[in-house]
Amino acid sequence: MIEAELKALLREPDAVLRRLEAAYGPGRVERYRDTYYDTPDGQLTAGDRELRIREVTGADGDRAVLLTYKDARVDEASGSKPEHETRVADAEAAHAIVRGLGHRPGLVFEKHCRTYAFEHQGRRMLAALVRVAELDGVFLEVETAAADERELPAALAAVRAVLAGLGVAEGDLTAELYTEAVAAARRRPTGK
């Protein structure tokens, strides 16, 4: 499965929030704690691949743990990647297994999200308003699944239609990964 996703840095996040709420109802407030792993010599990052454990906490206190592997991008413009993801029952056990296989935690950060699940053009879609402490602004991610690379253009067209309906311009899209942006922000010297 390919995660067909587009991400935008929003110029008017409050207006987009109002449109999301009007179209899809109240979003689900969630906090993601993402831990990205790599080999000691950085082979995953060098190969544009990701291994992540995501701990999700909802506003009501419920929790989920997801183990995700993303292969290299199949579409540079969108950054869409083949993705394999599964729920796991125990976060600490998942971290211990990944470390035991020789991987090392590289980057850990939190995303504060308001998510919306809905159908559009016969596709299951997920939209998320995202804030990351180290990054300026509010992002909007819209994603759906494509079975393979042949289906990816149609999936991305559906995602673009949702974005257009929310008033997001093509020029606001970014393919920069959060991992890249957070790492760059952490490398910048702090003013004193």
At 101-133, the pLDDT tens digits run: 999 999 999 999 999 999 999 999 999 999 999
Q: Give percent above pLDDT 70 in the chain.
A: 99
Euclidean distance between CA atoms 36 and 192, whole angstroms: 30
Euclidean distance between CA atoms 185 and 180, whole angstroms: 9
Q: 144-178: per-residue pLDDT in tens? A: 999 999 999 999 999 999 999 999 999 999 989 99
- Band of residue 189 on the pLDDT scale cut at 50, 70, 90: confident
- Taking residues 26-46, what's their average pLDDT? 97
Computed over every residue of the chain, the mean pLDDT equals 95
pLDDT at 192: 52
CATH architecture of 2-187: Beta Barrel (2.40)
Q: Residue 58, CB half-sphere, CA atoms under 13 Å: how many? A: 9
**Amino acid occupying residue 132:** V
pLDDT at 166: 97
Q: What pTM was computed for the model?
A: 0.92
